[in-house]
Amino acid sequence: MSTPQVSVLLPVRNDATHLPAAIASIQRQTLTDWELIVVDDGSTDGTTQWLQSAAEADRRLSIITQPALGLVPALNSGLKACNAPLVARMDSDDIAHPRRLFTQLNAFKEQPELTLCASAVRHFPRPHIQGGMLAYEKWQNRLIGHCDIQRNLFVESPFVHPSVMFKKQAVQTAGGYRKMPWAEDYDLWIRLAVSGSIFYRCPETLLYWRDRPERLTRTAENCTLDAFRACKVHFLSQSYLCNCQQVTLWGAGQEGKLWARALRDAGINVNRWIEVDPKKIGQRIHGAPVCEPDDLNTHPAKTLITVGARGARQQIRDWADQHRLIEGEHYLCVT
């Protein structure tokens, strides 16, 4: 059997309700030269039986059955079994646009330097989607080019996991998936970025992302805000804040204070707060002075922007541009 152009990697546990629709969306791709590696992670609800009959009907499906070991082992064993140089991730409850594989493969052909190509996504069912998820969808869908993605890497996870296609070799070289106290996909994106990967997003909506109450993003302990913050601090202390024992935080609100605590646990202290609230300017918080933004001009130092209010990040970036402060050097947006 010849090597397919794309391997689709789909881990599943107990999702007989949605899996047929997800797999049907792969089977009706305009690109037909693919293999689908499904890792059945200890299903007990009929998923296993359904997969067996689906694999008998379509030889492009390969099923790896394992006891319930968890998502990360499932992803790694599936990744190992992928035969194609390009791997498209897929989840059991999502729907791929019929041109998804073709479009992403084409992006790799046109830009051979790419390591990972995501796509725009759209949540469904639409009527139940909350404002925060819609804002996230809109935010990440706008990050198209590598530079934009890279400079927003610490703001939020810039990719929806089942929307990505990546070079298998690059992910394996980066260490594959790791079980950490934070989300395994965000952990991978940052490691790929650190290793010099080139990112891109197809602006077309190629993945429909199903929202439901039991979705992992909502329920898993490694997907909480605390877990994401811990992940960011972990990687920042090895990159932007490497060898730093002190940092300036812009934003002395609740989020800023949570950041101060997480940084302190990593051995990095806040030596200055930047605030625009006149009531806070001049005070001391956790022993560090609260200063107005102009203080950054006279005393520049590595600064993390922790202001989460909608629109504030762009305002701060505009202000920093006017004052010739360089993102990634003088400051970094982390919320």
Partner 1 sequence: MREEYQPFEIGNTWRILPPDCRPPLDHRTNLIMDRGAFGSGEHETTRSCLKLLENLKIDQAQVLDLGSGTGILSIAALKQGAAHATCVDIEPSAVDACRRNCRRNNIADATVHHICGTLDKVSGSQFDLILANIYGDILIDVASNLCHAARPGSTLLLSGILWEYNFDVRNRYEQHGCTVLKNRLLDEFSSVLLQKTD
CA distance 306 to 319: 15
CB nearer partner 1, residue 21 or residue 144: 21
Determine phi and psi for 220, rounding to 5 degrees.
-75, 140
Contacts with partner 1 by CB under 8 A lie at 20-21, 24-25, 28, 95, 97-98, 122, 124-127, 208, 210
Distance of CA 160 to the CA centre of its chain: 6
CB nearer partner 1, residue 128 or residue 179: 128
CA distances from 254 to 152, 171, 285 (A): 21, 36, 12
Quickly tell me which residue has 């806070």 as its tokens.
Answer: 280
CB nearer partner 1, residue 124 or residue 139: 124
Shortest CB 21 distance to partner 1, Å:
4
> Helices 71-81 and 184-194: crossing angle, nearest 10°?
50
**Bridge partner list, 65:** 40
CA distance 173 to 282: 49
Element (H, E) at 103: helix 100-110
Sign of the CA dihedral with 288 first, then 290, 291, and 297 last? positive
CB nearer partner 1, residue 99 or residue 330: 99
CB nearer partner 1, residue 30 or residue 195: 30
CB nearer partner 1, residue 122 or residue 317: 122
Shortest CB 180 distance to partner 1, Å:
31
Instruction: Please count the other Cβ atoms lying within 10 Å of the Cβ belonging to residue 208.
Output: 20
Strand order through the sheet with 288-291: 284-285, 288-291, 269-274, 246-250, 303-305, 331-333
